[in-house]
Chain A
Amino acid sequence: QSALTQPRSVSGSPGQSVSISCTGTSGDVGGYRYVSWYQQHPGKAPKLMIYDVSERPSGVPDRFSGSKSGNTASLTISGLQPEDEADYFCCSYAGRYTWVFGGGTKLTVL
C-alpha cells in the first residue's frame, strides 16, 4: 500500500479556517467510509479527531469536521485556536484487513 498524500504544512491565523487534504485511491479513501484523522502534539500520543469520514468522537470540538469527495478526504478546522497547532494525519482502510496512513501535515497557527 502507498501512503496517502497530505500537504506537508498548512497555516492560518487564529479565528480562520483551514483544510487539510488526504488523497488516496479507489482502493482506500475512495472505496471505503473508514477514513479517520488524528492530531499529534510534539511528544504526545496521537488523538482521534474524526472517524468514518465525518464523525466526531465525544469531546472533540465541533470546530473539527471531515468530508470526502472521490479519492480525497479533507479535515477542516474552523475558528483556529493556538492549541490546534499540531501535526495531523489521516488514515484509511485499504481492504483485506489492511490500513494506510497519510504522511502528516504540520499545522501552524500564525
Chain B
Amino acid sequence: QVTLRESGPALVKATQTLTLTCAFSGFSLSTREMCVSWIRQAPGKALEWLALIDWDDDKYYSTSLKTRLTISKDTSKNQVVLTMTNMDPVDTATYYCARMVSCYGDFGRRIDSWGQGTLVTVSS
C-alpha cells in the first residue's frame, strides 16, 4: 500500500524559508520511472504544480516559482524535501506531495497517490 505524508510548520512568517518533508512508504524512489511531485492549493484557488524529482535525481520546477524552490530526496529514508524561500502571505496554501508513475513514459504518466496535505499559513 502506497502512503505519503507531508510534514512541516503550520505557520511561517513572511520572508522566511519553508521546509516541507514528504515521508512515503510502499514504493522506492530508486525505481525507474518513479517520481514524486509537490502540489499546492491556496484557499479557493486551483491546484498548482510546484516541483518534481525523479528516480535518477533529476529535478523540475514550476516556471513561475523555480527561483524559490528546491526539491531533494533521501532514498534511504524514503523522504522528499521541498524548500521554498522568501515566503509571502500569498503562499498560504495546503501543500501536497504525490507519487507519479511512468513519469516520462509514452503511456500512463499520472499521479496515482496523494498525501493528505499540510496547511501552511504565512503571516505578514
Contacts and interface: CB of A to CB of B under 8 A. Distances in A.
Interface of A: 1, 3-4, 33-34, 36, 38, 44-48, 51-52, 55, 57, 89, 91, 93, 96-104
Interface stretch (B18-26, B46-54, B84-92): B46-54
Contacts of A34: 109-110
A66 B107 CA distance: 15
A51 B110 contact: yes
Contacts of A102: 46-47
A16 B47 CA distance: 28
Contacts of B111: 36, 38, 48, 91
A103 B45 contact: yes
Contacts of A104: 46-47
A99 B49 contact: yes
B43 interface: no
B66 to A, nearest CB: 10
Contacts of B64: 1
B37 A99 contact: yes
A103 B115 CA distance: 19
Contact of B108 (A1, A51, A96, A98): A51
A93 B100 CA distance: 12
Contacts of B95: none
Contacts of A52: 107-110
